[in-house]
Amino acid sequence: MAKKQSFAQKALGKDGKALAEYVKVVKAVRGDKGAWKFKTQMVAVTDENRNEVYGG
């Protein structure tokens, strides 16, 4: 028996638009001993915070 709806269609929601696009933000931070460390964070990008995340 075939599925009626795929996971991708469920993720889009009822109106057919994706709720958020996820991007990985990487920041370089100086450690205690002078070495560089990279902090990564997954950020949800919506229409409201698009300029804040992309810096435009």
CA angle 33, 39, 40 (to 5 degrees): 165
Q: Is residue 12 part of a domain?
A: no
Give the C-alpha separation, 21 to 44, whole Å. Answer: 6
- Mean pLDDT throughout 6-18? 66
Domain assignment of residue 27, given as a range: 18-54
pLDDT at 14: 62
* 19-45 tens-digit pLDDT: 778 889 899 999 999 999 999 999 888
Containing 26, the helix (H) or strand (E) segment is strand 21-30
- Mean pLDDT throughout 36-55? 86
Q: Is residue 49 part of a domain?
A: yes
Check pLDDT > 60 for residue 2. Answer: yes
| pTM, rounded to two decimals | 0.51
DSSP structure class, residue 17:
S
pLDDT at 24: 92
Of 49, 1, 56, the residue nearest 23 (C-alpha): 49
Question: Is residue 11 classed as helix, strand or coil in its secondary structure?
Answer: helix
User: What is the pLDDT of the chain when averaged over all its residues?
Assistant: 80
How many structural domains is the chain composed of?
1
